[in-house]
Amino acid sequence: MPPAHPFDDDKLKEECGVFGVVGVTDAANFVALGLHALQHRGQEAGGIVSHHPDHGFNSARRFGYVRDNFTSHKLMETLPGELAIGHVRYSTAGSKGQTQIRDVQPFFGEFSMGGAAIAHNGNITNADALRKELIDRGSIFQSSSDSECIIHLMARSLQRDIPSRMEDALRRVEGAFSVVAMTRTKLIGVRDPLGVRPLVLGKIADGYALSSETCALDIIGAEYVREIEPGEMVVITADKGVESLHPFRPQKSRFCIFEHVYFSRPDSIIGDRSVYETRRQIGVELARETPVEADLVCPVPDSGTPAAIGYAHESGIPYGMGIIRNQYMGRTFIEPTEQIRNMGVRLKLNVNRALIKGKRVVLVDDSVVRGTTSRKIKEMILDAGAAEVHFRIASPPTSWPCFYGVDTPQREKLLAATMSEDEMRDHLGVDSIKFISLDGLYRAVGESSGRDNTSPQYCDACFSGEYPIEPSDMLEKGFEMKAAE
């Protein structure tokens, strides 16, 4: 694929999206719709595997958007059956930005008791060690993806059926995973013991669906049933329904708090809470913690919009669409000249000059990563005649990399890892920049007492540097953890 537009380089990249359906005619078509709803979680490539009793397993893997590949009647005819799984990818492990088609999931393996396909959202933190061990024992890897380790571990298991082999394999795996897999007759879903990555169950007609988010259930008309619990495995068949197993030692949940801030779509539900409402409440907390005298609250579209609405409501400062996003500016825009490239953010965002001119503007964004986009947006606002620019950020400073399925820059490239708040203000050239506190973020997601520092309720390692799962591969490569306080 062509490179992402510069605007996309300054955001944490969504992990991946998984979706599966059993017990419906032309299941692959439902999976394609589900993946389309999960496109925000991965725009690099996608794949679908289906099974039909007469035709066996069939797969299709393509680079690019779901809409550009899996809407072809000719292609979808090659994926028959009432059971299918799919995956949309953003490369969090393997050859980032140089993905080969062999890296695109779902992965498929043929075992003595039949075939199985697997799609994985997350990151295996001991993948390097596992890969070395498996290769030393004769395994031949086809991809650079950490997820392929699961297939090889399943192949080496001595268990007699595929779900049991998957249990065996996942007990060897460290890190974060939500897995959707399939055999000839079964749809399988598993979450890691800490429940870092999301996975939900839905009911559609006589069948069932598994999805990374509830918004993808909506698109196929499925009823949301519940979240798959941390450490739970569900084995689903069209005739017997859902069997629930708990193969791992119970642990306290540490769901990724950044799903609330940015990754999930605002129309999804997490833990019985509307993501939109949580983001609006983040804006409310942000206004309480970081008041400023201003004339206009303006979101950085689109991810800053709910928080900006909450900030404006709580502060009493009028809300306005001071920046307009060009909805037709895709990631694959051809940038033929240096002059065009230097336009940067302006290809995607344009300032509403009539609204901005002469105003003291509060710009609300979801996060600051490298700060490159924030500087460009500030310049656009000032060029349009704004009197002052105040950044308000709907997450705490992102000062540590994520190793659980999110593509984060190295720590030294994170603005908050190398600068204080005042230094960031001067670096960005704004009148002020303030972030929501970690306690404020926890209150916004429903923890009224804030963060429990002795036993945090969420994974917030990108903000706190406290990793609930030791990133063993990265430690081997020299990564230094936060010193104990």
Residues assigned a catalytic role: 16
Question: Looking up tokens 């939500």, which residue turns up?
Answer: 178
How distant is the alpha carbon of residue 64 from its chain centre? Answer: 17
As a whole number of angstroms, the distance between CA 210 and CA 103 comes to 22
Q: Output the DSSP codes for 278-318.
A: HHHHHHHHHHHHS----SEEEE-TTTTHHHHHHHHHHH-PP
For 47, the 3-state DSSP assignment is strand
Cα–Cα distances (Å) from 22 to 116, 180, 182, in that order, read: 14, 12, 9
Q: Which amino acid is at 8?
A: D
The one-character DSSP state at 345 is: G
Query: Nearest CA to 380 among 415, 348, 350?
Result: 350
Convert 353-362 to b/e letters by CB count within 10 Å (16 or more is b).
Answer: eebbeebbbb
Is the bond preceding residue 106 a cis peptide, omega within 30 degrees? yes
Cα–Cα distances (Å) from 66 to 109, 191, 315, 396, in that order, read: 24, 25, 41, 33
